[in-house]
Amino acid sequence: MEPKAQSPAAMPPVERTFHVLVGVTGSVAALKLPLLVSKLLDIPGTCVIRAWDLSKPLLFCPAMNTAMWEHPLTARQVGQLKAFGYVEIPCVSKKLVCGDQGLGAMAEVETIVAKVKDVLFQHAGSQQH
């Protein structure tokens, strides 16, 4: 007796594997890293790695004090990253750890995770066509 082939409806869905690189610089926002990584790991099929293929999406989340954010060099650097096709998750305005009130705080973890999900699923869709 031969084993019966499973019908396509009975087969488990194929999960795509996504790789997310989380890079951290010397910012007080690095304190949010454990929460961010924890939330990213909740995305089905996503794992954190230490290197990525530059043809894949890259998202960046600036975090610095207001004086650094307002420096003209920062605008040039952010512009260069965006020119490479990288996606900025903009910083937000709030009272910073240094005591300043203004732009420079890293976006909220939920905002970052939502944007990562959007980009992953857009990229996956474009890979299938």
Decide if 98 is catalytic: yes
Segments in 52-108 forming alpha helices (H): 66-70, 72-83
Q: What is the Cβ-side half-sphere exposure of residue 4, based on CA atoms within 13 angstroms?
A: 5
Other residues' Cβ atoms within 10 Å of the Cβ of residue 32: 19
Amino acid occupying residue 16: R
For 12, 15, 17, 129, the CA distances from 124, given in Å and listed in that order, are: 19, 11, 10, 9
Instruction: Could you list the beta-strand ranges (E) of 21-100.
Output: 46-48, 59-60, 87-88, 92-95
Q: Point out the residues that are catalytic.
A: 98
